[in-house]
Amino acid sequence: MAAKTLFITGASTGIGAATARAAAAAGWNVALFARSEDKLTALADDIGDAALALPGDVTDLASLTDAVSRTTERFGGIDAVYANAGRGLTDRSPEDIKGMVDLNVMGVLYTTHATLPELKKTKGTLVLTGSAAGRKHLSGSIYGATKWFVHGYAGNMAEDMREWGGRCTVIAPGMVDTPFFDEGKPDKLKPEDVAEAVVYAITAPAHAAVREVYLMPQS
């Protein structure tokens, strides 16, 4: 039986890279999409023949569409998609806010648009990175508001995709020790914890739809 394929955005570091390693270890091919070509290529080389490096910008639909074509040409299809790319704010300037909204919202929409035709062929699974910040109100948080969008969109897509046998899952982690933060968070969740949740969602039996996985650090 041919290996299944997972397409991952934001794949070069952190949660995306950990998910690529976990999925490959579980026997999946992984298509790795991110802007950082050097890190992406190094990760793909480390994983081996099951990985395909696809440098590109998730806010560029043409770039995503080309990456999807290259993935299907290499692996024959796409069985799951992990829309993981996202960021927080740095200086809260109008340009910074727009850049974050474009990535966290339009990046998810473009990823879905580019990959959904392939997921329909395989009755596949779409996974989105939400956040604990998308499940509660945080004073003045624009980042949190983008994750509220992701959670709402995931629920809407789950209803849409079930009509043709597909599934949609939102992964909602609390604080994770990744480069998202300027300083390390050694007592919080690890990228590997979130990666395990993604693999759980995409490998669940066909009769079970994992709609949400909510992860919080114990401390």
Active site residues: 143
- Residue 116 CA to residue 71 CA, distance in Å, equals 14
Measuring CA to CA, which residue among 129, 142, 146 is closest to residue 189? Answer: 129
How many angstroms separate the Cα of 59 from the Cα of each of 23, 49, 109, 140, 151? 24, 27, 9, 25, 19
- 3: Cβ–Cβ under 8 A, 6 or more apart, which residues? 27, 28, 29, 50, 75
